[in-house]
Structure 1
Amino acid sequence: MLRTTGATLASGLVLGGATGLGGAQEAYRVVQDGNCTPLVPLQGDVPVEEFYTYNAPKTHYSGTGDIVALQDPHASRLFLYTGPDGVTSLVFVHGMAQREDPVGGGSASFVIKGVPPSAEWAVRDDDYGSVMTTSPEGEQILNTQLDQWDIEETQMTVNWTWGTGNTDGAVLKNLADLDAIVIENSFNEDTPLYGKKYTGKVDRWEALTGDMADPQAVPLEMGVPITIEPGSC
């Protein structure tokens, strides 16, 4: 179950302080346009790659693991995830993996600056090149990814576009030596890939925080940079 706060972060929303298991978890915050909210990592019992489960089975190029419970077909979401090994990762997921009555779709473009040296891009959705897939009618189809990735040592630029019933996203694993990550963002018509194949639109950009079973969805203002960093509000 997800709870949505009633105001955008950019309008000055400040939630309660971040506390982790046993009070030992490091505090994080997200800041947008001078306004701050605690970003409490969601606690999971599987590694983040399994939680996301990209490209399994091989014909589903979407996040199909437990992350489905946190997806929304009309939203782009980000959150911190701490697995059983204590490693905290930054997770991005756009859209929702649906096989029945699919809806949604959209385009997003992020420039992510300040990637810490310890971190790795453990999931890139999509980043499969070209693959042969089989349609429901048994026809062999060559699929070539549209998403564009430019990964440097401390920065990544990615352009995503996804259709109905699918996701795009990424996982930046291990924020142990995080200083500050800045995310410049654009959506829909303001992105390079909008209209290249898909014309669906993202309605909301949200940060999830709190408890895995009942996280809060904090609205973010699309098009305004955010900073994710250690610390409290």
Structure 2
Amino acid sequence: MKNIITLLLISVTFSVVAQQKFDHSTWDQAVLLNVSEDGNVNYDGFMRDSSLLYRYFQELSENAPDETWSRNEKLAYWINAYNAYTVKLIIDSYPVKSIKDLKDPWDKEFFKIDGEWYSLNDLEHKILRKFGDPRIHFAINCASISCPVVWNRAYTGENLQRALDRQTEKFINDPKRNIITPNVIVLSKIFKWYRRDFKVNGGDVEDFINRYAKIRITDQDSKGYKEYNWNLNETKIDNSAYALD
């Protein structure tokens, strides 16, 4: 009898834990439909699929992370929230050529989570960066060409670590965003703006990059930073063949 009761308690516990995990499938469907493999965004498509987006905003608003969530689940939630609300910011003023054409795009408090107003800067600087994982800079996207590409899947607690490594490696080795050759180093300004974040485990920016770069930074003579292209990371995708629930 004791064994049966124990098994029942374990079953109930697992059921409760499963219910506490946030389901990002709505965002997963939205980005799969409207973001290309190389990370370009179809904002027209997001506008057509606005019901899907607003369902996800409601889910985010009503299910803020709490102490029962794992670190990976919390981080995945806030990364997805940042990317989803960046899309909202753009389509609310679409068509627009650049996020910088908008007034105070990062400081504008335009969405609520658990009854509290937030801005994109709140999510990035007050929440995401406090996790102490510099890879988040390659997972969040500011709707611009020079930003790390938008992943066309949702981050989850289960896929987070692999996804962060993949997005970081992709960004560092992308010649559109970083030039790393045996003779020349021209880096994204992300490594300049957030230099402090990359000083982990006693290392520096170069140490961090060398963990992922196909060509290592050593003693290259020519070094500098690329101009940041703030134009919209936009493309047109025909998603008319897909049916939404």
Query: TM-score normalised by the shorter chain: which range applies?
Result: under 0.3
Name the TM-score, length of structure 1 as normaliser. 0.26
Larger radius of gyration: 2
Task: Flag the structure with higher strand content.
Answer: 1
Indicate the structure whose relative CO is greater, using CA pairs within 8 Å and at least 6 residues apart.
Answer: 1
Task: Flag the structure with higher helix content.
Answer: 2
Name the TM-score, length of structure 2 as normaliser. 0.25
